[in-house]
Structure 1
């Protein structure tokens, strides 16, 4: 390993400056603009809280990106609070300060905002998810009571509002410190802080708390929403359902662990969920839906009637789908546009012959990814739909893991898949011959047997000239 690079003159100057925080704060008014990003990094990692507050108050750029600092090593909670405090803290009267140009604070790891040296004169240029997107206006009359009191005193007449961009993670398990700190600051700050969230994750939050947080956000800015709900949040009669309806630019929606309990008066659990899903009719830009709930069993036709016909991804694991549900999907307008279809963890052995084939026939013109894992697919069932599957000429990946398929069934699969020009990856189960049953009906994997079978598969792929396709075998 090579020795570390010696510190530069700027490094040495910053180290010397930070030995006395009071002196460092006074020096901010005279520092060149290009020193601020480096000084921020050193002060943040060293938890120089007084200096951090001063840096924010004198920031010479329109944008402040904090995601790289939060991803770095070491504790950062104290430094984060110092930065947030600097957004509305008044500088000491004895300190001569420069006017901050700060307009945007960005906490996103996957930020679309531009870098320091590329800052635009208009923050609305940073976020254009759609050609018709117009950033929502936030006016003073929507300010919280504490903000109104500060504005009445004239405290902030010379200070402009700041936009905060963050991907929020809320909930009892994944309630991140970052999300908590930023939300608390926005709620308590005297300065107008406008919060914008593109990706929102909610896990096991009460309806009232969720609604309270979403009231801080311009809902039309949210593009990705994931909800893990065990407490009846996904009920059509609460305010949260109407808030989701206002997320006009939502592209990806993931609803998992939908178990209830449901509020009284909503009837059955299925009715409560369907009532919530009816609010999706307003989401014209929705491209992806993931729904994991057996409450949808037998009601898929209702869900499909609420979705845009141009939906590209439909994931329905653990939905206990019936053959009537799959039949409705094959007859739906969405079938002609689907690029990814996930029916994993649904027992397809109960589906009537021809139903799945009819669905594959309808999606064959667009389908790129198909997931049929844990579906209890057997050799007989596989052979029934392979001829139709081989007509999905845009198929790129196929997953059949954890199904009951033998070596001969997998050989048939290889032969039918050989005619698909865009196929890149197939995930399939280790064949049944590679297991033995121990006393107590416990399966035992026989590795030597699989090595022989795998060698046979490789030769078959070579004979079919399919070496470029990656085949992955998974254990049960």
Structure 2
């Protein structure tokens, strides 16, 4: 083929489209990016029709170039043209999803027929992240929903991360019909749903068998069903039973989930593999829940444990001792912010915390710990071999007045005492900083510069 620059191919639409059949594959992607950026819709449509690769990574291109709906329409129209044909173009290499290949029985054809033509299979469009949100739906979602209403055919979507942000379940179910669910590795549900809606979504979740990270946020109980009824137990069982299918699940985040009180065991016992991350934040939990957490086999190799905003003021710290002891060889991050932990509780877990040799980061932000307890916390953690960053609470002696504002004079005295401890421990290069406006709680930041 005669050598043409990208600019000339894009400026001369007729020449560009005619040259696609012989354009080297290594030039295809750069030209496609330029066509997207320059909004050359007709060239873009023709390039999709002659796409020489096995998958169309439309999502990554859209994220990089931020095209408008006309670009999305051109790309999907190119697919429409192909789907309307009975045979594939010579360079066509887009493949159907593996799961579709397993489920679909292919018609038997003789070799001569196979050489002449190849039936067009469903195509796969790759999306790195697919975020569905009601308030500000992105253009891709809006365009897809419009095509669904028009009854048009759609490609099979393959995405690694799927997010639902305040999206009605009905809309989600329509989109999930065109998503290859076993391609998904991360799922985030933040729909301000009730438990009934979550239970209705659960069967879709069970088909996402390769999910390794699941985050569920802001799930309320059902307003018209009393809290302690059998119906709530039934709905929770419907949700948790689907976790049995998630053999790859390693990271579980439950935030502002208000049906766990006295029922955490129903969720954790359905996990099929050990967790590396467990985050239970702003949840109502009983001592029985935390006791089960300490004995659960799936929490013995945690790398990250976050129990922030879980009220522990009246709870025994024994479960924390057990969790820290069991995960001492693997724990890398610990967050206990806003838990209402008092001196006696903190002091009781320090020996176990000191054995967490892999712990570079921990956070204990709050206002109920004395300067003596903070000093003990410093002594037990600063010598950890992988020490990098710790967030310590400002001692309660530093607060004055009804509003609990920090007295900077008292704080300077406390910081001076802590610096002396660092020097005595042989860590004079560790740095203490005070932050009062960037964090939810007043906090002392300690980090190592060695």
TM-score, structure 2 as length reference: 0.79
On the 8 A contact 1:87/1:191 being kept in 2, the answer is no
2:357 to 382, 393, 404: 393
Deviates more, 1:221-230 or 1:178-187: 178-187
Offset at residue 157 of structure 1 (A): 6.4
1:21 to 7, 13, 16: 13
Aligned ranges for residues 243-254 of structure 1 at < 5 Å?
Answer: 243-254=204-215
2:282 to 315, 318, 324: 318
| Alignment match, 1:202 | 164
Q: Aligned with 1:349: secondary structure?
A: coil
Q: Aligned with 2:283: secondary structure?
A: coil
Offset at residue 139 of structure 1 (A): 5.6
Q: Aligned with 1:209: secondary structure?
A: helix
| Alignment match, 1:256 | 217
Query: Residue 351 in 1 paired to residue 315 in 2?
Result: yes
Aligned ranges for residues 28-107 of structure 1 at < 5 Å?
Answer: 28-67=20-59, 69-72=61-64, 75-89=67-81, 99-103=90-94
Extract unaligned runs of 5+ from structure 2.
107-116, 442-450
Q: Deviations over 1:179-198 (max 9, x none)?
A: 44356658878767322232
| Alignment match, 1:420 | 384
Matches of 1:262 and 1:344, distance apart in 2: 26
Q: Aligned with 2:292: secondary structure?
A: helix
Q: Deviations over 1:316-349 (max 9, x none)?
A: 1111222221112112222322222111101111
Deviates more, 1:377-386 or 1:156-165: 156-165
Q: For the aligned residues, what is the CA RMSD?
A: 3.7
Query: Residue 211 in 1 paired to residue 211 in 2?
Result: no
Matches of 1:180 and 1:140, distance apart in 2: 30
Going from structure 1 to structure 2, the CA distance change for 1:469 and 1:236 (only over 3 Å counts) comes to same
Offset at residue 415 of structure 1 (A): 0.7
Q: Deviations over 1:399-426 (max 9, x none)?
A: 1123423333221111111442233321
Aligned ranges for residues 72-151 of structure 1 at < 5 Å?
Answer: 72=64, 75-89=67-81, 99-103=90-94, 135=99, 137=101
Q: Aligned with 1:316: secondary structure?
A: strand
Q: Deviations over 1:259-314 (max 9, x none)?
A: 15468798554653344123212322211111121320111222222223522221
Offset at residue 255 of structure 1 (A): 0.8
Going from structure 1 to structure 2, the CA distance change for 1:42 and 1:279 (only over 3 Å counts) comes to closer
Matches of 1:192 and 1:205, distance apart in 2: 21
| Alignment match, 1:193 | 155
Offset at residue 201 of structure 1 (A): 1.0
Matches of 1:382 and 1:468, distance apart in 2: 26
Extract unaligned runs of 5+ from structure 1.
1-9, 105-122, 125-133, 143-155
Matches of 2:216 and 2:133, distance apart in 1: 14
Going from structure 1 to structure 2, the CA distance change for 1:174 and 1:462 (only over 3 Å counts) comes to farther
TM-score, structure 1 as length reference: 0.76
In the alignment of these two chains, the number of paired residues is 420
